[in-house]
Structure 1
Amino acid sequence: MEALDNCISLVYMMNSGTNGSHKLFWRNVRMECARLCSEAWKLSSWGLLAAMQSVSIYILFRLDEGETEHNDFDSLLINTVTIIAQHLTAKDIANNYSREQTWRAWLYEESRRRLAVIYRVVNMLVYFDPAAMCNLPSDLVLAPLPAKKELWEASDEQSWNLENKKDPAAGNAFGLARTGELVRLGSDRDGEELVHSAITSVSPLRTGASWEEWCSGMDGFGGLIMLAALLVEE
């Protein structure tokens, strides 16, 4: 998880308030992005995920600051996201990634879906080139949405299994529709979520869901999704 370790160190440096820390932060971010672009091909699935997470933090810093003389390398940030995303996709295809519901497999997928939500929300705020790589159906803005807090914060596989058994509906997949409404996603015969399937005569319709029910089990991501819904409605 070198990319995340480096990111944490850079954020600590940025927040130190010492003279020159801001300039040094962005200089190191530029170098880190260049490194990730050149080394993405040899990272594992988890390494690529960590890289995508770290770059998302750099992008959030960039959005928060606005353009300055030190952070003016948007094309490199965007290119880094694109390259890592391409390698992530290729890695999943090459490994024929299993959908077996083990805690570790679920944790990887849930980490990805939460990260995808962040990048898609960024695309709602500014034009973000890599968003074109996402093949969501036209009726959805964000999907699938993050799972409930109890599942996400489970400390081990036993705790995760207990939460799954306690609330079988906790793993249901939801999405934010372009109307600003919360919808429950359908699934095929094998139980696979039809996130990327458009509604057709053979594909089940999205069903309405309650914001109150969904938010009651969410962590801080619930607020982000509701803010995104307000943007859609406007």
Structure 2
Amino acid sequence: MPHGTKRLSDLTLPAMNIRFLKTRPKLKTGAQMIANNMARVLYSLPKMLIQHNSCPPFLHLQCVSACNSGEGMEPLANCISLLAMLVNRSTGTANLFWRNIRIECDRITSKFMSFNFQGLLATVQTLFIYLLLRMADGETEHNNHDAALLATLTVVVGELRRREQCTSLAQESLDILCPGLSWGQWIYQESRRRVCILFRIINMLVCMEQTSACNTTGQPGLILAPLPARKQLWEAASEEQWLQELHRAPSVNGGFGLTESGDLIELGEYQMKSLSMPGSAEVCTSDKSKENWEEWCAGMDDFGALIMLAASLPL
């Protein structure tokens, strides 16, 4: 194990389980309604796996299909099995479900160093599913495992960052296309970006400062970037279909970023402005924001509602 990397079992946790997932201070009426709707959408995401046999928009179907094979995919496979317990919920199943999640946290922290890149990312996605379930449940006598959940998430993300030698879970590059990548490589990079977006949105609603390793040091003036790629690319059923879609509409494959002013800016335009006007507020404004919103909305998937709500939430 590299110097400085610790397993959760090596850490001293509080004798009493402290609640870390605290809702941010109540907002004014209009903003609070937006925040409440964001929470409702977030809480619905795990139900996609439970009830509808589909994937939440931060988890690719190929990843779910491969969860019974490959290094480090066991946590996701176990998560999908555990979710079946929630179909008919009762006090007894809730207690057993959350005890199993705590056991999963301990298992992950004892094994994550042996996971490959895909396994580490799938584990992060798994932990976010548990995190969303905990947020949806609120504080109950059964789910008092905030410290274990957040500590596990922190060490796994920290290892992913260490291997990728980057300063945050988000790539420093804003190039959403990543020319030359295969379909599998693109799925990994796009999944990674979507996890970053999910973290940033959750952090708008609850205090996540404890998970400092997960913090995405985004680009100056951008709240969320890069935004998720088009639905047609993300939901392609095969590499052939993905390539066809990639070449069918190359002009709309560029990435977008959501600015602090609520504008949607093309990342190519943002990078050019950053070079020509470093430090200028005009870097994060766009004369084409209206057109950009229309273009991005035309191709958005299930993440779209969350992005739109996040754009409407006052900072």
| TM-score, normalisation: structure 1 | 0.86
* Residues 1:122 and 2:194 are matched in the alignment: no
For residue 199 of structure 1, what is the aligned residue in structure 2?
A: 274
Is the 2:252–2:295 Cα contact (8 Å) retained in structure 1? Answer: no
Secondary structure at the aligned position of 2:274 is classed as: coil
1:175/1:182 contact within 8 Å kept: yes
Matched residues in 1 for 2:273 and 2:146: separation?
Answer: 33
Q: Distance in 1 between matches of 2:203 and 2:303?
A: 17
Q: How does 1:84-99 map to 2 (within 5 A)?
A: 84-93=156-165
Give the conservation status (yes or no) of the 8 Å contact 1:186–1:205. Answer: no
**Partners of 1:88 and 1:48 in 2: CA distance:** 6
How many aligned positions are there?
223
Once residues 84 and 91 of structure 2 are traced to their aligned partners in structure 1, the CA distance between those partners, rounded to angstroms, is 14
State the match for 2:180 in structure 1. Answer: 100
Matched position secondary structure for 1:199:
helix
- Code of the aligned partner of 2:208: F
Deviation per CA, 1:60-109: give whole Å up to 9, x if none: 11111111111112121111111111111122239xxx963211111100
Secondary structure at 1:68 match in 2: coil
CA shift for structure 1 position 138: 3.3
The question of whether the paired residues in 1 share the 8 Å contact of 2:262 and 2:311 is answered with: yes
Q: 1:36-115, aligned counterparts within 5 Å?
A: 36-93=108-165, 100-115=180-195
Task: Give the Å deviation of 1:16.
Answer: 2.6
Considering only aligned residues, what root-mean-square deviation do their CA atoms show, in Å?
Answer: 2.5
SS at 1:225 equivalent:
helix
In 2, Cα distance between the equivalents of 1:137 and 1:19?
45
Which runs of no fewer than 5 residues in structure 2 stay unpaired? 1-72, 167-177
What fraction of aligned residue pairs are identical, expressed as a percent?
Answer: 42
Q: Is 2:246 the counterpart of 1:164? A: yes
Q: 1:71 aligns to what SS in structure 2?
A: coil
Distance 1:126 1:21, change over 3 A: same
If asked which structure has higher relative contact order (CA below 8 Å, sep 6+), I would say 2
- The answer for unaligned runs of 5 or more in structure 1 is 188-192
Q: Residue 216 of structure 1 is aligned with which of 298, 303, 308?
A: 298
Alpha-carbon distance between aligned partners in 1 of 2:259 and 2:184, rounded to the nearest angstrom:
29
CA–CA distance in structure 2, aligned partners of residues 99 and 76 of structure 1: 39
Q: Contact (CA 8 Å) 2:196, 2:216: kept in 1 or not?
A: no
TM, length-normalised to structure 2 = 0.65
Q: Deviations over 1:116-163 (max 9, x none)?
A: 111110000011022563211231111111000110011111111110
